[in-house]
Amino acid sequence: MAIEVKLSEDIVAIDPRVLQQREACLDHAADLVSSAERILQGDKGYPNIAYHLALLALEEIGKSQLIVSRAVTGPHRDPAWIDKRLDNHVFKMLWAIWSSTLFTGPVDPGRFEEAKRFAQGLHEKRLRGLYVDFSEASAGQRPSDAVNLHDARSVLEVVISTLATERERKPVGVGGAGSDSAWFLETVANEEKQKRLFSRPFVEKLIELVEGRAWISWARGEFERIELEEQAALSRELERQKSNGMGRAKWQLQIPIVSRWHSVRQKVLNDWNSRVEFAQFFTGKNQKNGDLLLKLTLHDHISADQVFDAGLSLSKLVIAMLNIGSAGYFWFSTSELSDTYFDRAIDLDEPSMGLKISKPRGLSSLHLQLVPQDTPNRRDGLESAYIHNALKCLMVYSAMSEAEAAPIFGPYLHGLVLLSKSDINLSCENDARGAFLETLEAALKYFHDWDGEDDVASALDVVFSEIIPNGGHRQEALSVLGDMPETGETPISWAFHAKRTADIYLAFAADRQWRRSASSVI
């Protein structure tokens, strides 16, 4: 169903510097098109190279649109989603192809899905035309075989047409920060929100309302309503899980946490803090390097001699949920000679007094010494979506009995410890990988996604098809179930690969369980 929607109802001023950036992107796209046309001249030509240049031009067009969208988003909304998309080849092409229709034609969910598949197909063909495939199945094939002259000319025609349309279109602020139009563009650009926006109930409402702007306004209200109901249900469930008769807050442990992958912002951590009273996260001394401080509150039913073990158990639970929710790596940040896991233990009845508790044979050398060789220098920001994943995991998994949780989270926590101990003197990567795969298999059996007898890869493939529709990406996630390839991986990166695959399933299972329980109480 296609409905006419005009998004530029409230024109706002755009910074001239942003317009200069947009113009530079379009000029560069024109240069890339000219280069592609020259490469195709002559008897031979190089269609695969021209194809690549044409797609680079398409990316520049998409980038120009995203730059304007980022400027319009302004300080009132978080533009991080755009910054991430600016590095995504497929999304920039998708945005170039699809977003221009928002200003010249109807909103059509089907057209968006078509554009998405088209952009993915373009990129996959581009890769085949750029690199020699070293797999045995592709022996003898050359990149020049992947793209013919017709492919290259067809793509060039699309790019030239798209560039001409973008040149003619006057860049406008689509409603400004906080408007329905800006909300719509941001929602469409978010992978998770996009699925809900174009789901059957929303499309049926689009047909019912007919007028597109009214549909966008309704959809925004529906998103806000669903989010509020989910948050309320989550708060009720977390409150329900508090044990009766725990008494009053007595102890506070201040526990330094470190991440080797994520940078952190307090605004994102506040999403967690507003819902989980006993475990509060704060940015540490170096938030760009992933330093966190966990302030853990224990109640007066725990005696002083139990504080160490109770705090360790509870902090491990919280850290595990953060690991799963972000698919990153968070762990205790203690010095090599430390015999405890916290900086301070405070008696809340006597704040000036502290506890000094240590276990020399307990945790030691927990500081992570080694990270995957392919870890990027620029850290990914810890996002609100990751925090929400972690909250759902906390709600679902903390409700499990010790007998139910032990087969899943015993190996998981052991794997985290092994990763923290891996350095140039001690190799624990293979054992860590084994621990995360043990977690994965135990969780699959617990949630009845695997009977423990059939091929685990086949069972996981069925589950992942719901959240990883691209078959190639799905196989990449499943590949860790087999032997490590001779090239492209190291023992440490292979162990982290196993952790990510386990994280994806655990987060999916928690979300599925959460939605079932939330629907029963909403």
pLDDT digits (tens, 9 = 90+) for 224-270: 888 787 777 666 655 655 544 457 888 999 999 988 778 888 988 99
Q: What pLDDT, on the 0 to 100 scale, is given for residue 233?
A: 67
pLDDT digits (tens, 9 = 90+) for 135-189: 666 667 889 889 999 999 999 999 999 999 888 876 655 444 456 766 776 777 6
pTM of the model: 0.56
Helix (H) or strand (E) holding 215: helix 212-240
Please give the C-alpha separations between residue 186 and each of 174, 190, 200, 225, 363, in angstroms, as whole numbers. Answer: 11, 6, 20, 18, 44
pLDDT digits (tens, 9 = 90+) for 57-91: 999 999 988 888 777 655 445 556 566 677 788 88
Q: What pLDDT, on the 0 to 100 scale, is given for residue 9?
A: 44
Q: Considering only 138-142, 157-161, 198-202, 391-395, which range has the smallest mean pLDDT? A: 138-142
Domain limits of the chain? 3-227, 248-399, 401-522
Q: What pLDDT, on the 0 to 100 scale, is given for residue 290?
A: 66
The residue that leads in pLDDT, 379 or 411, is: 411
- Is the CA virtual torsion 311, 313, 314, 315 positive or negative? positive
Determine the Cα angle at 165 with ends 163 and 171, to 5°: 100
Is residue 349 exposed (0-12), middle (13-18) or buried (19+ Cβ within 10 Å)? exposed
- CA-to-CA distance for 326 and 330, rounded, in angstroms? 9
| Mean predicted confidence (pLDDT) in 301-324 | 89
Q: Is the pLDDT of residue 431 over 70?
A: yes
The residue that leads in pLDDT, 484 or 11, is: 484
Q: Is the pLDDT of residue 369 over 70?
A: no
In the chain, count H helices and then E strands.
Answer: 19, 10
Q: Considering only 325-334, 385-394, 404-413, 486-495, which range has the smallest mean pLDDT? A: 486-495
Please give the C-alpha separations between residue 182 and each of 60, 172, 429, in angstroms, as whole numbers. Answer: 21, 11, 46
Q: Is the pLDDT of residue 521 over 50?
A: no
Q: What pLDDT, on the 0 to 100 scale, is given for residue 354?
A: 64
Please give the C-alpha separations between residue 358 and each of 199, 303, 305, in angstroms, as whole numbers. Answer: 54, 15, 11
The residue that leads in pLDDT, 186 or 5, is: 186
- CA-to-CA distance for 261 and 79, rounded, in angstroms? 20
Name the phi and psi angles at 342, rounded to 5: -125, 160
Confidence band, pLDDT 50/70/90 cuts, at residue 383: confident
pLDDT digits (tens, 9 = 90+) for 470-481: 777 788 888 888
The residue that leads in pLDDT, 157 or 94, is: 157
